[in-house]
Amino acid sequence: MNGPSLSGALCTFLRVLGSTISGPHSAVLVGGDSPMVGERRDDVEAYGAPGIVFRPRPPSTPTGESNELAAEALSLRTPDGLQPIAWRDLRWNRRFPAPKPGTVALVGYGGGFLSFDDAAGGASSKATLYVPYGRSDVDGTATKAMTIAIDPEQESMMLVHGDGYAIVMDKDNGVTLRGDDSTWLRVGKGVVEIVAAKQNLRGNVALGSNTAAAVPLLPGPSSQPTPSVFFSPT
């Protein structure tokens, strides 16, 4: 087994000051210092959770505050230097400030997250993918967000655009395609409902329960049959 021996290793904290990507495996290497004067580590390959690849942001100071925030790692002091083994970055917590009991979330620096919340009774999980965008030029906060939400308790799925467009599926209403509060199309079992202030249909249109027997529609008593609208009296 390659790598430094951990026998007799002591723990300390490492404040990450920078990172880079290097080597044949494109590994993320971090560097920083510890509370011990002069103790520093550069370009160390960081350990993390299985399947999770991340590169910490450089230290930053939140708008209107004086304290600088940075990624921090609990590190083992080995003969080769500090080796990070566990991480935290309070900027992630600020982006996801109120998790419920039982919540598990993967949170990004930009405020996007994938979260799993306990449903009623804890028998299943609600899943939410939230992606903010449209940053304000004033304070950098998001003005819009796109969301995918799966709720087994309500047996529903929802895809929402930042401008209000949405596709919703649930056990009672079927599939709803929404343009805004007064524009939608709903497809349920045996029913299609269309609500809009303006509706345009292009191409041939057949109306009635027996469209195979439909004939050209007469708009009025003296009108010519239409070439594209057909009506079945049965």
Q: Which of these, 157, 107, 161, lies nearest to 133 by C-alpha position?
A: 161
- Check whether 167 has a pLDDT greater than 90: yes
Higher pLDDT: 150 or 11? It is 150
- Check whether 4 has a pLDDT greater than 70: no
pLDDT in tens, 95-116: 999 999 889 999 999 999 999 9
- Check whether 201 has a pLDDT greater than 50: yes
Give CA separation, 158 vs 127, 150, 171, in Å. Answer: 11, 7, 12
Q: Which of these, 29, 87, 81, 76, lies nearest to 55 by C-alpha position?
A: 29
∠ CA 231-184-177, rounded to 5°: 105
Q: Model confidence at 222, in pLDDT bands (50, 70, 90)?
A: confident
- Mean pLDDT across the stretch 128-147? 84
∠ CA 147-180-163, rounded to 5°: 45
- Check whether 138 has a pLDDT greater than 80: no
Higher pLDDT: 138 or 70? It is 70
Higher pLDDT: 39 or 65? It is 65
CA–centroid distance for 94 within its chain: 17
- Check whether 52 has a pLDDT greater than 80: yes
215-216 and 174-180 strand pairing: unpaired
Sign of torsion, CA 28 32 36 37? Answer: positive
Higher pLDDT: 39 or 45? It is 45
- Mean pLDDT across the stretch 21-37? 85
How far apart, in whole angstroms, are the C-alpha atoms of residue 184 and residue 57?
42
- Check whether 187 has a pLDDT greater than 90: yes
Higher pLDDT: 57 or 64? It is 57
Most confidently predicted of 1-10, 59-68, 181-190: 181-190
Copy the structure tokens of residue 39: 């103790």
- Check whether 233 has a pLDDT greater than 90: no
